[in-house]
Amino acid sequence: MEAGVRDSKLQLVVSHIRAFPDFPKKGIVFRDICPLLKDAAALSAVIDLFEDHVRINYQQVDLIVGLDARGFLFGPLLAQRLGVGFVLVRKKGKLPGATVAVTYDLEYGTAEAEIQEDAVAPGQKVLLIDDLLATGGTLYAACQLMRKQQAEVLGCLVVIELKELQGVDKLKPQRVFSLVQY
């Protein structure tokens, strides 16, 4: 994709992200992707930009791994474009059958993420996808799940990165690609 086309697609994406100051609490600016999902051209632009990045930077991808819940919105679309499968990382208790889980820290406690035991095979090359990178806790937990499964994490893809929260530092040495940074 040429630079001019990439820039216009990125502008379309940015123009469809809405800011809500003081939500869910005072001092937080919530970045709402609902307008982006509602507009077919803007949603296509997100997937176009992710697809372009993946095709340029990764020789082989076996699976796209989406994080609960908004990674489920972008991941299957990207996986379909790339001709690869899609796998779910869910909150604890949401998947049937045998699962593998990890516990991770939240601002006020802990949570668990899990994957079906047979979802990822040892040695498979995976890319993780989510809508937002904030502190990095959820993506870090998903990377840990992939390591438990002996998969090779190629990198992480997010629509929005909140740079001041430095989530990318928590994910090192994983590469993180974000479309939009605030």
Helix locations, the chain, DSSP H: 3-15, 34-38, 40-57, 71-82, 137-148, 167-171
- Structure token pair of residue 157: 């893809």
**Per-residue confidence of the chain (182 residues) as pLDDT tens digits?**
999 999 999 999 999 999 999 999 999 999 999 999 999 999 999 999 999 999 999 999 999 999 999 999 999 999 999 999 999 999 999 999 999 999 998 777 899 999 999 999 999 999 999 999 999 999 999 999 999 999 999 999 999 999 999 999 999 999 999 999 99
Burial of residue 142 (CB within 10 Å: 0-12, 13-18, 19+) is: buried
Mind listing the pLDDT tens digit for each residue in 70-120?
Answer: 999 999 999 999 999 999 999 999 999 999 999 998 777 899 999 999 999
What's the CATH fold of domain 3-181?
Answer: Rossmann fold (3.40.50)
Active site residue 147: no
Give the pTM: 0.96
Which residue among 6, 81, 90, 107 is the active-site one? Answer: 107
- Within 8 A by CB and 6+ apart from 21, the residues are 29, 30
Which residue among 6, 70, 81, 175 is the active-site one? Answer: 70
Active site residue 70: yes
Strand partners, 67: 89
